[in-house]
Amino acid sequence: MFEALERLPADPILGLAAACKADPNPHKVDVTVGVYMDEAGATPVPQAIKLAQQELVGSETTKVYMPQVGDADFNRGMQELMLGADSNALSEARVTSVQAPGGSGALRLCAEVVKIANPDATIWVSDPTWPNHVPLLGATGLKLRSYRYYASATHSVDFEAMLEDLQQVGRGDLVLLHGCCHNPCGADLDQQQWGLIAALAARNGFTPFVDFAYQGLGDGLEADAAGLRQLVAAVPEVLIAGSCSKNLGLYRERTGAALFVSADPDAAIAAQTQATAAARRIYSMPPAHGAILAGRVLTDARLNALWREELEQMCGRINGLRLQLVEKLNAATGEDFGFIAREKGMFSFLGISAEQVKRLREEHSVYMVGSSRMNIAGLRADNMDYFAAAVAKVL
């Protein structure tokens, strides 16, 4: 049977990361894979997670299956983190959630529920978007369409074009939005633009579907959630895929949550039961370790305060790197890279051609994907000058 299978190429991003790892050049720079890295080039485990893990190991008495919806503290903590503890939707019991294997699992569970509720629904996805959105959501059989989002000429959101495209979206369809720190371009909607999207959704009857993977890494936990909260206040239904990979450092623990904001409590519970049924079909039961750790950090005052302090430092480092990179690139190239400082989160398009990206890799061992999307957190004091000089040489 297997002899008939075609060998597939490596994932383009993971393949580049592997090539960089094998590169013997001591000056190599890896800005491919989207993980946070500190000044030592490591992806650290937050101290709050370490403490929660020590406590868990000492107190855990069983490895029995988790409840189908997941850890109760985790679900409550994620709902309050994303929507705010004072959310009307929460106080009105119009929100349910299901623990999922990472943000990817949360996206898939949301799509599975949509497929059951409205098989003819179309999900509108931004152009550009995270490359895995299309295969991950499209595999459910739902139709996908794109809307214009980013203007490469100005390195900013093309909001006029975005609104023009979203005027076509009607009742029963969904619009996938990046809650903050857009992957791959780093260009985010401002609060006025979020308000206009919320008003359009309320007027035309489409459902916002928010991928919220980077809360806390743009302008801070509360500021990054402001756009999402505008949507929840404006429309009766919102789907949210939350992730703990980046802001809680739980990448390999695959910890995420699918949230269903509904018009009334009965509809919220119905959505949750459909999500757990979909989970049962796909992977049966949720993983425990990461969610229990996240639940403790989100609901324990001591651990939560420590985590928030650590996350603020991570966010500050990323924003500081953006400012440093603009200064270095402007000096090395004589061109204006100020747009990088205006963007949010870990990602930006450098704005160079695929051929120049190839030269960076082959001539200077600087690795980024062909679109010139780069992970700002892959830079640090000891490689920033080298990176800027390499970019200047290929321009």
Q: State how far the Cα of 13 lies from the Cα of 31, in Å rounded to an integer.
A: 10
pLDDT band at 358 (very low <50, low <70, confident <90, very high): very high
Q: State how far the Cα of 363 lies from the Cα of 247, in Å rounded to an integer.
A: 34
pLDDT band at 202 (very low <50, low <70, confident <90, very high): very high
Name the DSSP class of 9: P
pLDDT band at 137 (very low <50, low <70, confident <90, very high): very high
CATH 3.40.640.10 domain range(s) in the chain: 65-299
Query: Based on the number of CB atoms within 10 Å of its own CB, is 302 exposed (0-12), middle (13-18) or buried (19 or more)?
Result: exposed
pLDDT band at 10 (very low <50, low <70, confident <90, very high): confident
pLDDT band at 13 (very low <50, low <70, confident <90, very high): confident
Of 157, 267, 185, 178, nearest in space to 224 by CA: 178
Q: Is the pLDDT of residue 14 over 90?
A: no
The amino acid occupying position 295 is G
Q: Is the pLDDT of residue 12 over 90?
A: no
Q: State how far the Cα of 96 lies from the Cα of 271, in Å rounded to an integer.
A: 8
pLDDT, one tens digit per residue, over 188-200 is 999 999 999 999 9
What local confidence, expressed as pLDDT, does residue 47 receive?
98
What local confidence, expressed as pLDDT, does residue 345 receive?
97
Mean pLDDT of 6-16: 86
Share of the chain above pLDDT 70, in %: 100
Which is it for strands 174-178 and 156-157: parallel, antiparallel or unpaired?
unpaired
What local confidence, expressed as pLDDT, does residue 312 receive?
98
CATH 3.90.1150.10 domain range(s) in the chain: 2-45+304-394
DSSP letters, 170-190, are -TT-EEEEE-SS-TTT-----
Q: Is the pLDDT of residue 86 over 90?
A: yes
Q: Indicate the range of 5-14, 40-49, 385-394 predicted with least confidence.
A: 5-14
What local confidence, expressed as pLDDT, does residue 380 receive?
95
The number of beta carbons lying within 10 Å of the beta carbon of residue 164 is: 12
pLDDT band at 87 (very low <50, low <70, confident <90, very high): very high
Of 93, 106, 116, nearest in space to 267 by CA: 93
* Residue carrying the six token digits 């789907």: 239
Name the DSSP class of 351: -
| Mean pLDDT taken over the chain | 97
Of 366, 362, 355, 358, nearest in space to 332 by CA: 366
Which is it for strands 347-349 and 373-375: parallel, antiparallel or unpaired?
antiparallel
Of 16, 39, 17, 1, nearest in space to 324 by CA: 39
Mean pLDDT of 139-163: 97
CATH of domain 65-299: 3.40.640.10
Q: Is the pLDDT of residue 357 over 90?
A: yes
Q: Is the pLDDT of residue 161 over 90?
A: yes
CATH of domain 2-45+304-394: 3.90.1150.10
Mean pLDDT of 118-145: 97
pLDDT band at 331 (very low <50, low <70, confident <90, very high): very high
Whether residue 128 is preceded by a cis peptide bond, meaning omega within 30 degrees of 0, is yes
Mean pLDDT of 26-46: 94
pLDDT band at 260 (very low <50, low <70, confident <90, very high): very high
Mean pLDDT of 38-45: 94
Q: Is the pLDDT of residue 83 over 90?
A: yes
pLDDT, one tens digit per residue, over 49-80 is 999 999 999 999 999 999 999 999 999 999 99
Q: State how far the Cα of 248 lies from the Cα of 160, in Å rounded to an integer.
A: 35
What local confidence, expressed as pLDDT, does residue 109 receive?
98
Helix then strand then coil, % of the chain, to nearest 5: 50, 15, 35
Catalytic residue ranges: 130, 211, 213, 246
The amino acid occupying position 179 is G
Q: State how far the Cα of 84 lies from the Cα of 80, in Å rounded to an integer.
A: 5
Of 229, 296, 269, nearest in space to 72 by CA: 296
pLDDT band at 15 (very low <50, low <70, confident <90, very high): confident
Q: Is the pLDDT of residue 11 over 90?
A: no
